[in-house]
Amino acid sequence: MAAQDELRVDLETLAYSAAHAHGQGEDLAIAHVSSNTRMEAAQPGWVGSSAAALNARLTAWLSTSQTLLTMVGEHALDLHNDARDFAAMERDNAEKLRAVAVDANGAAGTARD
C-alpha cells in the first residue's frame, strides 16, 4: 500500500503517453496546415469587405492554431522529459540500493571472519 505522500510512476505508461501525445500533436499539425492551405486557396475568390473579413478571420485562426499546436507540443515534450527524468531517478535509486546490499553483504562477511 502506498504511503499518503508517495508518488508512483509507471514508466512504461508515461513513455507511451508521451509518444501518443507527440503523435496526436503531429496529426493536429497536419490537419491545421491542410485546413489553412485550403482556406488560403479560397481567398482570391473574395473581394471587398468580405475579403478583408475573411483575411482577418484567417489571421486569427492561424494565431489560435499556432498557440494550440505549441501547447500540445510542449505537453508532449514535458511528458517525454518526465519519463526520462523518472527513469534516471529509478536507475539512480536502484544503484543506491545495490550499493547498500553490497555494503551489507561485505559487512556481514567481515563480521563472520
How does pLDDT run across 26-62, given as a tens digit for each residue?
999 999 999 999 999 999 989 999 999 999 999 999 9
d(C-alpha 24, C-alpha 75), whole Å: 11
Whole-prediction pTM: 0.73
Query: Nearest-CA neighbor of 79 among 6, 31, 2, 24?
Result: 24
Name the DSSP class of 1: -
d(C-alpha 90, C-alpha 15), whole Å: 14
Spell out the domain ranges in the chain.
13-80
Give pLDDT tens digits for 70-97: 999 999 999 999 999 999 999 999 999 9
d(C-alpha 64, C-alpha 60), whole Å: 6
Per DSSP, helices labelled H in the chain are: 11-42, 48-112
